[in-house]
Structure 1
Amino acid sequence: MKIMKDNEMALVKEILKKLGASEEDQKLVAEATVDADLKGFTSHGLGRFPQYLISIKSGTINLEDNITIEKETPAMALINGNSGFGQAVSYKAMQIAIKKAKELGIGCVGVHNTNHFGVTGFYSDLALRENCIGLVIANTDPAIAPLGGSKALIGTNPIALGIPSDSYITVDMATSVTARGKIIESKRKGIELPDGWALDKDGKPTNDPTEALEGSILPFGGFKGYALSLLIEILTGPLVQAEYGLGVTGTASPEKDCTKGDLYIVIDPSKFGDFDEFKANTEEFISQVRATGENVAVPGDLEVKRIADSEANGIIIDEKLYEQLERICGNLDIDLDSYLEG
């Protein structure tokens, strides 16, 4: 079975409305959820939605949320998310960073006391819409063991970077070989993991998603991915007054308070020189890249293809996710099947 973009948007809003979320939060969470599914990051779209329901029930997501700006200068701000929806807190943080960048050329906003926000690239995309460069990083519950170690200590710590252009030039990735959400999704679907993804709790390679969630996920690229995830841990932990290492909870443990941190950086290219020239030079470089081979891919190409396919053909709902959504909707007196096709 599948769900079309507009129906998924309506379903998420209806569920959140029934749970008592504000209209603004309904809209922002729905947009981020649909964005993840359209791009093929289903582990962070509807597939992650049951986790948010656990957080709401446990009281770790505050339905009466509003951000507090704790510190601010013309170029930066430190935000307390007050345990609101991660999507809503992140949207507001990115808007502040964009505004500062438009005024000064760069804006940097740190966030603590927030929640899981879906896919990181949704927020760097917000900067692209304003002809700005967007960089977003975050930490998560421990998932990566330090290189040479056997115990998970560092998060999967995603990074997203987008460049404004006529093309869609963006990267959104975990610093682990795969996102934890894909491990969770594999467990839900009852499928094994590929070789080289994870270790069990004893530090031995495993293809079992349950063992992987109890053990650790490998960093991408060996030392390089490990080093990047470690540095992101510092920038989204101690720097923004959030937790770090073993102190981070809530992104994979929805019944616990979310203690992770985020950092949003926006750069306005027009402050360096003529924006149209910057964009033209960027496109010229991308043309050079594509000219090097018939099958050359540019970061963002895959997402463009996935979005087009998902918008045309719908987003697949697997059997296990359908069962989870059916329970959620049944408890809220929502007719799930009326939103689905096939």
Structure 2
Amino acid sequence: MKISVEKERELVNEILIKIGVKEEHAKIIADATLDSDLKGFTSHGLGRFPQYIRGINKGFIETEGEFEIVKETDSVALIDGKNLFGQYVAHEAMSLAIKKAKESGIGAVGAFNSNHFGVTGYYSDLAIRNDMIGIVICNTDPGVAPLGGKKAILGTNPIAIGIPSETYIAVDMATSVSARGKLLEAKRKGEEIPPNTAIDKDGKPTTNPEAALEGTILPFGGVKGYALSFMIEIMCGPLVNAAFGTKVTGTAGDYKEDCNKGDLFIAINPEQFVSIDKFKEEVEEFVKEVRESGNTFVPGDLEVKRIAENEKNGLPIDEKLYETLKEICDNLEIDLDSYLTD
């Protein structure tokens, strides 16, 4: 079964409104959820949505209130998310970073006491739309062992970078071989994960997602992925008043404690270096050079292709996800089937 782009937006929005989320917040959360699915990151879209409902039901995600700016200068701010939806807090944090970058050339906004916010690239895209370079990083529950270690200490710690250009140029990736959400999705679907993705609790390679979740995911690229994840852990932990290492909780969906990870949103205004027109022109010149070099691609090409396909064909919903969504919708007196097509 499938759901169209607009129907998914409407469904998520209706669920959120019925559980008491403000309309302004619901619109942002629905847009971020849809963005994940359109780009093909289904592990962070509608498939992750039931996690948020559990968080609300257990009292770890707040549906009312506002975040607080606890420290601020012309170019820097620190936000206490007050346990609100991560998508809303992240959207407002990047919006503030963009505002500061327009005025001072660069904006850096940290956030703590927030929640899982979907795909990191949604927020770097906000910067792109404002002719800014966007950089977004965050830490997560421990799921990755330090290189050579056996105990999960690091998060999957994603990074996203977006470049304003005529061509969509963006990278959004975990610093581990796989995002944890992909393992959770594979577990839900009863599928195996690719080899060389994770090791089980005994340190043995596994393709079983459940065993991988009990063990550790491998850092991508060996020492390079480990080193990058290590640095992100510091910049999204101690730097922004958030937890780090084995102290991080709340992003994996178990909701035994409040989510205490940290986020960092950076916007850079190219106009403070060169004119935006010159910047874009030279970026396009570089893109052309890369494309003409052979059978290659530009970061962001795959997402553009997926978006076009999903807008045309609709977004798939597997049986397990359908059953979970059906239970949520039935409890809220929402007719899920009216949103779906075969």
Common fold by TM > 0.5: yes
1:172 aligned to 2:159? no
Distance in 2 (alpha carbons) for counterparts of 1:37 and 1:81? 25
Could you tell me which residue of structure 1 aligns to residue 26 of structure 2? 26
- Gapped runs of 5+ residues in structure 1? none
Q: Give 1:194 deviation, angstroms.
A: 1.0
Q: Give 1:65 deviation, angstroms.
A: 3.0
Contact between 2:236 and 2:262, CA under 8 Å: does it hold in 1? yes
Could you tell me which residue of structure 2 aligns to residue 125 of structure 1? 125
Could you tell me which residue of structure 1 aligns to residue 264 of structure 2? 263
For the residue of structure 2 that corresponds to 1:239, the secondary structure is helix
1:248 aligned to 2:225? no
Contact between 2:156 and 2:176, CA under 8 Å: does it hold in 1? yes
Contact between 1:65 and 1:85, CA under 8 Å: does it hold in 2? no
Q: Give 1:46 deviation, angstroms.
A: 0.4
* Equivalent residue runs for 1:97-246 within 5 Å: 97-246=97-246
Moved more, 64-73 or 177-186: 64-73
Distance in 2 (alpha carbons) for counterparts of 1:148 and 1:219? 10
What is the one-letter code of the residue matched to 1:324? Answer: T
For the residue of structure 2 that corresponds to 1:16, the secondary structure is helix
* Equivalent residue runs for 1:293-312 within 5 Å: 293=294, 295-312=295-312
For the residue of structure 2 that corresponds to 1:77, the secondary structure is strand
Distance in 2 (alpha carbons) for counterparts of 1:65 and 1:216? 36
Distance in 2 (alpha carbons) for counterparts of 1:274 and 1:138? 30
Could you tell me which residue of structure 2 aligns to residue 278 of structure 1? 279
Contact between 1:65 and 1:83, CA under 8 Å: does it hold in 2? no
Distance in 2 (alpha carbons) for counterparts of 1:225 and 1:86? 25
Q: Which digits, 9 at most, give the CA deviation of each residue in 1:34-82, with x for residues without a partner?
A: 0000000000000000100000001110111311011111010011000
Q: Give 1:241 deviation, angstroms.
A: 0.6
Q: Which digits, 9 at most, give the CA deviation of each residue in 1:231-250, with x for residues without a partner?
A: 10000000001000111000
Distance in 2 (alpha carbons) for counterparts of 1:199 and 1:66? 41
Q: Which digits, 9 at most, give the CA deviation of each residue in 1:197-232, with x for residues without a partner?
A: 011111111111111111100010001001100110
Distance in 2 (alpha carbons) for counterparts of 1:99 and 1:186? 39
What is the one-letter code of the residue matched to 2:176? Answer: S
Distance verdict in 2 for CA 1:254–1:65, change over 3 Å: farther
For the residue of structure 1 that corresponds to 2:96, the secondary structure is helix
Q: TM-score, normalised by structure 2?
A: 0.99
Contact between 2:20 and 2:64, CA under 8 Å: does it hold in 1? no
What is the one-letter code of the residue matched to 2:279? Answer: F
Q: Give 1:253 deviation, angstroms.
A: 3.4
Q: Percent identity?
A: 63
- Gapped runs of 5+ residues in structure 2? none
Distance in 1 (alpha carbons) for counterparts of 2:65 and 2:95? 17
Q: Give 1:330 deviation, angstroms.
A: 1.0
For the residue of structure 1 that corresponds to 2:21, the secondary structure is coil
Could you tell me which residue of structure 2 aligns to residue 288 of structure 1? 289
1:63 aligned to 2:50? no
What is the one-letter code of the residue matched to 1:54? Answer: R
Distance in 2 (alpha carbons) for counterparts of 1:324 and 1:148? 38
What is the one-letter code of the residue matched to 1:152? Answer: A
Moved more, 22-31 or 247-256: 247-256
Distance in 2 (alpha carbons) for counterparts of 1:176 and 1:92? 27
For the residue of structure 2 that corresponds to 1:111, the secondary structure is strand
Runs of 4+ in structure 1 deviating by more than 6 angstroms, as ranges, are none
Contact between 1:47 and 1:321, CA under 8 Å: does it hold in 2? yes
Contact between 1:52 and 1:254, CA under 8 Å: does it hold in 2? no
Q: Give 1:18 deviation, angstroms.
A: 1.0
Distance in 2 (alpha carbons) for counterparts of 1:38 and 1:189? 19
What is the one-letter code of the residue matched to 1:318? Answer: D
Distance in 1 (alpha carbons) for counterparts of 2:209 and 2:246? 21
Distance in 2 (alpha carbons) for counterparts of 1:188 and 1:254? 15
For the residue of structure 1 that corresponds to 2:79, the secondary structure is strand
What is the one-letter code of the residue matched to 1:289? Answer: V
